[in-house]
Structure 1
Amino acid sequence: MKRCVITGIGAVTPLGNDIESYWNGLKNGVCGIDYIKKFDTENYKVKVAAEIKDFDAEKYVPKKELKRNDMFSIYGIAAAMQAFEMSGLKEGDIDPDRFGVIVGSGIGGLFTMEEQILKMGEKGPSKVSPLFIPMTIGNMASGNIALKFGAKGICSSVVTACATGTNCIGEAYRNIKHGYLDLCFAGGTEASISGIAIAGFTNLTALSTEPDPKKASRPFDKNRSGFVMGDGAGVLMLEELEHALKRGAKIYGEIVGYGATCDAYHVTAPCPDGEGAAKAMEMAMNEAGIKPEDVSYINAHGTGTHHNDIGETVAIKRALGSAAYKVPVSSTKSMTGHLLGAAGAVEAIACICALDNNFIPPTIGYETPDEECDLDYVPNTGRAAELRYALSNSLGFGGHNAVLCFKKWEG
C-alpha cells in the first residue's frame, strides 16, 4: 500500500481567506460570526451567520467568468489554487492521468437557485439564465478545478451533507493509498448562506436564534441553542509519499486512517447511543494502527445543537473508552460557524495545522458546563501541546459519519 501525505492546503473561511489568517484566527479564538449582510433579514428569526469577508474573487477567476460560476465553485477554485501554490508542483512533476479532483459541496449553488427561481416567478421561464444548471449542480467545483489544472484522473464529488468534505478527503486518500493516483485535490466548498437556506434550517429548528453573534455558536455549552451557518472552502493537495519525496516537496502531514459509516437511524438526528460515529472513529484508528491512548487531539463535529453534542460525546467515549477523558476535544465551529459540505475540509486543515504547530485550537463561547458533555473541550483558550495523531469527526444529516486520522509529519 502507498502512503498519502499533504503537500499543500488552501482555505477560504469566515476567519480569513488564506491559511495564515485562518490558522491565526483559530489559535487566537477569533469569532468569525456576525450579522448577515448578504440579504435583508428583517423578516427572519435568525440574523447571524459566518459569512466570507473581503474576498477578492478576481484574484482567482477572470472577471468575465465570475458571472458564469456560483460562489461555491469560486471558493473551491480559490482554495485549490492556494493548495497548488503551496505544494510547489511544476508541470514536469505531473502526469495528468494520475492527477485527480474530489471536492464536494453539500448543497451546491443554492444562492443561484434562489435567485433564478425568483426571476422565473417574476419574469417568466425565458428569463432563466442558460447557465443556471452548470452554475448550481454540486459537481461543478470539482469540474472547474480539474479544468483549470488539467487534472484527467478521477474527478468526483461526494455529497454527504455535513460529512461531505471529510468523505471527499477520505476517498482521495484511498485512491492514492491503493495506487490509482499520484496527486489529488480533496476537500469541500459551500456558499449557501441565503434566504431560503436560513428559512429552511430555522424552521427545522436547527439554527441558533441567539441575537448576539459572539454567543450564537457555543458547542458543548449547556446553553447552546443550535448551529450557525457558514460559507467557505478547504482544499488539500494530497500526494503519494514517494512522488512527493522525489521532487523534494515540503510535507505538512500524513493521512493514516479513514472511517465511514451510517447510523441508519433518523433523517436529521444522530443515533443517541453513538454507535455509528464511534465505529467510524474505531475504523480510522484501526487503519492507522493506533490505540485510543495514542490520539492527541480530536476536532469534533461539535455543531452546538443539543442532540449532536451529546451524541458525539457519547460516541467519543464509546470509541476511546477511558482514554476519552484524557484527549482534548475542541469544536472550531465555535469560531467559523458550520460550513456544511466544507466543514470537514476546513476542520481537516485545522488538524493538520494543529499537528504541525503543536497547538490545540479552543472551543470559544463556552461558559456553562453540561453534565452530559463531560470531556475536555479546550474552553475559550487554545493550548500548546505535543501532538502526534489527530482525529477529525464529521456527522451529517442522513446519518452519515466520517472520520479522518492525521499523523504529524516526522520525516
Structure 2
Amino acid sequence: MKDKVVVTGYGVKAPNTNNIAQYINNLKNGICCLETVTDLSPNGETTIIGRLNSGLDELETDNKFKRLPRATLLGMASGKEALKQAQLSDLTDKKVGLFFGISVGAIGEKLFHDSIIHVNDNNYRKVPITFSHFSNYHSITAEIAHYLSIKGITKTITTGCTSSLEAIQDAMLYLKNGIIDVAVVGGADSLVNKMACFGFAKTKSIPIDQTLNVGAVPFNKHSKGFAISEGSGVIILEREKDARKRNIEILGEIDKIVSNNDGVHIYSIEETGEQMISALKEVIEGRKPDYINSQALGIQVNDRIEERCSKILFNHNVPYTSIKSMIGNPYGAIGVLQVISSLISINHGFIPPTIRTNKEGYEEMSIVTETWHQEVNEVAITNHGHGGNNACAYIKRHK
C-alpha cells in the first residue's frame, strides 16, 4: 500500500487575515477582505485590492528583518504558525525540505526600484547591497528557511499563480521517495502597487473604475478582472506512518496533484480550457468531489473555462466556489491558500461561499453563494497561472 501524504499543520497570512482562526471565521462567514483604492490606478480611478493591514508588526519592527522583502516576512509568519500547529519545534533530528512557490518575488519593493534607478543613472555606489537578493527569488525562500531553522533541501518553484500548488506536488515526490521526512511547503507573494496595477490594467486583467459589487467577482459576466492581493500560506506534510508515530492530529490528505501547460505563445490566451479540463479529469479519476475550490477570479476567459469544466466533467452537478471573491488573487500564494481552505472545509464542515456574485451569465452552474454547512470529505482544486500552467489537486479527509 502506498504511503499517504498527510497534513499536520497550516499557517496563513492574507488580506485582513492574520492567522488560521481568522481565516476560518472569514471563510465561514463570507467576509469580504478586499477594498477599493484610488492611488494605484493611472488616473485616480478605483482599483480593487487585498492587503494585510496588520499582523506583521513583530517582524517589521525587528532590525534583523527590516531590509527583507514583504513576501519574505509573510512566509516567515505563516511558516511559524504551521510548525507550531504541527508541534515541530525541533527539526534537528529529521530530514526536512522547504518548498516555496513564488510568482512575483520582490520586484515590487522600493529597494528594487531604487536599484534600477541608480543603475540607469550609472550611480554604482548608491545601488543597495541587497539588490542581488531582491532580484533573486530563491533568496526569499532561503531567508524563510533560515528563520524556521531549516538547513535541508530548499526549493523555489515559480510557475505563476500555480507556484505553491506545484511546490506541494514536488514536495510529495520527495516524501514518497524517502528523501525527506517532513516537508514545509508554501507560497508567498506581495505586489500591491502601481507597477502591478499599471501592468495588469494595460492587459485589461484588473477592474478599473468598478465597485466591489461588480469588479473582481468570480462567476459574474460583468466583472472586468481580478483583485491583486498579497498573502502567504504554509502547510506541513508528512508520510502517514510518521505522523502516526508522532501521535499528531492529521488534518487531511493530499491525494493527488496534476499540472500541465496550455502550450500557447505567451502573448496569446488559450480560451478552450482543454488543458485545464485534462488536468482536472486526471486528478478526479472519475470521483465526484463534494465541491470544486475554483480558480475563478473575475476574468471572463478564466471563469468560462471553469464553466466548461463543470459542464463536461460534472454536467453542472458538482458545486463550485471561489475564495478569490473574499481575498483576491495573491499570485503564487493562492494555490496553497486554496488547499488550506479546503482542509478547513473538511475539518469544520462547511463549503465557503463565492460572495458578491449574482451568478449572472453562469446560471447553469451550481455556484455556492451562501455558506453551506455540511459534511465535506473530498475537494478538488483548480488553479491557473500567468504563463499558461494549470494545476489541479484532490484533497481528502483522512481515514
Give the structure-1-normalised TM-score.
0.90
Partner residue, 1:314: 308
Q: Deviation digits for residues 28-48 of structure 1, max 9, x if unmatched?
A: 1111111349x6657354533
Partner residue, 1:292: 287
Partner residue, 2:251: 252
Report which stretch shifted further, 340-349 or 113-122.
Answer: 113-122
Partner residue, 1:172: 171
SS in 2 for 1:21: helix
Distance in 2 of aligned mates of 1:209 and 1:239: 43
SS in 2 for 1:66: coil
Partner residue, 2:11: 10
Q: Which runs of 5+ in 1 are unaligned?
A: none
Alignment of 1:203-222 (within 5 A): 203-222=202-221
Partner residue, 2:393: 404
What amino acid sits opposite 1:245 in the alignment?
A: R
Alignment of 1:1-400 (within 5 A): 1-36=2-37, 41=41, 43-58=43-58, 60=59, 63-91=62-90, 94-96=92-94, 98-112=95-109, 113-118=112-117, 124-267=123-266, 271-286=270-285, 291-293=286-288, 295-318=289-312, 320-322=313-315, 325-371=316-362, 374-379=364-369, 381-400=370-389
CA shift, 1:115, in A, is: 4.2
Distance in 2 of aligned mates of 1:153 and 1:108: 22
SS in 2 for 1:403: strand
Distance in 2 of aligned mates of 1:238 and 1:265: 33
SS in 2 for 1:394: strand
Alpha carbons 1:70, 1:136 under 8 Å: kept: no
SS in 1 for 2:229: coil
Report which stretch shifted further, 128-137 or 389-398.
Answer: 128-137
SS in 2 for 1:157: strand
Alpha carbons 2:82, 2:234 under 8 Å: kept: yes
Distance 1:107 1:127, change over 3 A: same
Alpha carbons 1:104, 1:139 under 8 Å: kept: no
Alpha carbons 1:46, 1:202 under 8 Å: kept: no
SS in 2 for 1:81: helix
CA shift, 1:321, in A, is: 3.7
SS in 2 for 1:344: helix
CA shift, 1:89, in A, is: 1.5
Alpha carbons 2:310, 2:318 under 8 Å: kept: no
Distance in 1 of aligned mates of 2:189 and 2:335: 11
Paired residue total: 396
Alpha carbons 2:118, 2:126 under 8 Å: kept: yes
Distance in 2 of aligned mates of 1:261 and 1:42: 35
CA shift, 1:67, in A, is: 2.4
Give the structure-2-normalised TM-score.
0.93
SS in 2 for 1:392: strand
CA shift, 1:255, in A, is: 0.4
Q: Deviation digits for residues 4-38 of structure 1, max 9, x if unmatched?
A: 1111101100131101111211111111111349x
Distance in 2 of aligned mates of 1:332 and 1:168: 20
CA shift, 1:245, in A, is: 0.8
Alpha carbons 2:162, 2:334 under 8 Å: kept: yes
Q: Deviation digits for residues 235-281 of structure 1, max 9, x if unmatched?
A: 11111111111111111111011101111124266533322111211
Distance 1:222 1:140, change over 3 A: same
SS in 1 for 2:358: coil
CA shift, 1:210, in A, is: 3.8
Distance in 1 of aligned mates of 2:252 and 2:268: 33
Distance in 2 of aligned mates of 1:31 and 1:321: 29
Q: Deviation digits for residues 50-106 of structure 1, max 9, x if unmatched?
A: 111112242x47711222210011101111001001111142x6534x200001210
Distance in 1 of aligned mates of 2:247 and 2:157: 31
SS in 2 for 1:216: coil
Distance in 2 of aligned mates of 1:156 and 1:269: 29
Distance in 1 of aligned mates of 2:334 and 2:127: 31
CA shift, 1:356, in A, is: 1.1
4+ runs deviating over 6 angstroms: none
Q: Deviation digits for residues 134-168 of structure 1, max 9, x if unmatched?
A: 13422223212222233233211111111111111
Alpha carbons 1:302, 1:331 under 8 Å: kept: yes
What amino acid sits opposite 1:108 in the alignment?
A: G
What amino acid sits opposite 2:64 in the alignment?
A: E
CA shift, 1:229, in A, is: 0.1
Distance 1:409 1:15, change over 3 A: farther
Report which stretch shifted further, 49-58 or 229-238.
Answer: 49-58
Q: Which runs of 5+ in 2 are unaligned?
A: none
CA shift, 1:230, in A, is: 0.5
CA shift, 1:297, in A, is: 1.4
Distance 1:42 1:198, change over 3 A: closer
What amino acid sits opposite 1:28 in the alignment?
A: N
SS in 2 for 1:301: coil
> Greater helix percent: which structure?
1
Alpha carbons 1:110, 1:194 under 8 Å: kept: no
Distance in 1 of aligned mates of 2:259 and 2:359: 32
